[in-house]
Amino acid sequence: MSLQDNIARILISPAEIQSRIETLAAEINAAYTDEDRPLLVCVLKGAFLFLADLTRFLDMRHEIDFMEVSSYGAGTRSSGVVRILLDLERNVEGRHVLIVEDIVDTGRTLSYMIRHLNARNPASIRICTLLSKPSRRQIDVRVDWIGFEVPDEFVVGYGLDYAEEYRNLPYIGVLRPEVYRD
């Protein structure tokens, strides 16, 4: 039994993902100057593939750093409690920060991160997410770039997991409900 057998359908293909990221990168290139030299903050683990592809389409000067936050544990729904598992290495004071997320669901993780980073006095904070589930939003966060809006279904692949698996799938797929309902 392969991971693919547990996917009900493919929502976004690898080609669609790459094409959208190229467009997002062009917009992000245009939004910053070389002097801004933004710090891209990849939110681990889900955004690792998105950051890897996005950074290769950017031609402005920039740096990358990583934060690991978790709100889900091993379940399928956000616990509402956000924990920092790994903090930034770089100092963000006076820096232009671009948060790179895989998905905004309730908005709790982002809202927590924005508060956390704002306390360190960055020059600006902008947000880029590959996916957004607007129907699940509980906290209204202003997101500057959204790759795709997705329906309220359990999506995995291209960095997104179920119980730490499926992150390696090259597409965004819908997980069969029977996989997480047993």
Catalytic residues: 105
Reduced to 3 states (helix: H, G, I; strand: E, B; else coil), residue 169 is: coil
Which residue in the set 45, 62, 95, 96 belongs to the binding site for ligand PRP (CB under 6 A)? 45
Q: Which is nearer to ligand PRP, 28 or 114 (CB)?
A: 114
Which residue in the set 107, 147, 157, 173 belongs to the binding site for ligand PRP (CB under 6 A)? 107
53-92 footprint of ligand PRP as x/- string (CB under 6 A): -----------------xxx-----x--------------
Q: Which is nearer to ligand PRP, 15 or 86 (CB)?
A: 86
48 binds ligand PRP (CB under 6 A): no
Q: Which residues are paired to 148 by β-bridges? A: 131
Q: Quick check: 95 and 103 in contact, CB under 8 A?
A: no
Pairing between β-strand 172-175 and β-strand 155-156 as defined by DSSP bridges: antiparallel
Residue labelled with tokens 């597409």: 171
Size of the site for ligand PRP (CB under 6 A): 18
- How many angstroms separate the CA atoms of 123 and 26, rounded? 22
- How many angstroms separate the CA atoms of 21 and 69, rounded? 23
Q: Applying CB under 6 A, which residues contact ligand PRP?
A: 43-46, 70-72, 78, 101-109, 161
